[in-house]
Amino acid sequence: MSVRSAGRLSPCYSCLWEPLLIAGVEKPFAIVNATLAIALVGDLHFYGWLGVALLIHGFLRHITADDPFMRQIYARYNRQADSYDPWPHAGSGRGKRPAGWGRGLVC
């Protein structure tokens, strides 16, 4: 993929804007899954957890294959409130509108 502006052709590499994946899963999820598997199998000898960890990894890989930005989209959605009142409240810290989405405008 390349971007053309002002008669110049510049490469745009996908590794610069896509999230870092480990075996097809986002890095934080893969690390937590592997850490739990190592702890439960190595210390507690729960060998059945290997199958569960592989199933969890497959599920996470399926989600990431559909949309690699799923976690970031959900985290941003979770920070925003479900509905916005047209007037400010004194103690409203959670659910502020992001900059550029009507934040700071007088209604």
pLDDT, tens only, 23-79: 999 999 999 999 999 999 999 999 999 999 999 999 999 999 988 888 888 888 777
Q: Which of 13, 17, 16, 30 is nearest to 64 (CA)?
A: 30
Query: Is 81 among the domain residues?
Result: no
Residue with tokens 């190595």: 42
Distance from C-alpha of 55 to C-alpha of 50, rounded to nearest angstrom: 9
Q: How many CA atoms lie within 13 A of 89 on its CB side?
A: 9
| Residues spanned by the domain of 60 | 17-75
pTM of the prediction? Answer: 0.62
Task: Tell me, yes or no, whether 91 lies in a domain.
Answer: no
Do the domain assignments include residue 94? no
Count the domains in the chain.
1
Question: What is the token pair recorded at 20?
Answer: 């870092």
Name the helix (H) or strand (E) containing 11: strand 8-11
pLDDT given at position 36: 95
Q: 86 in a domain, yes or no?
A: no
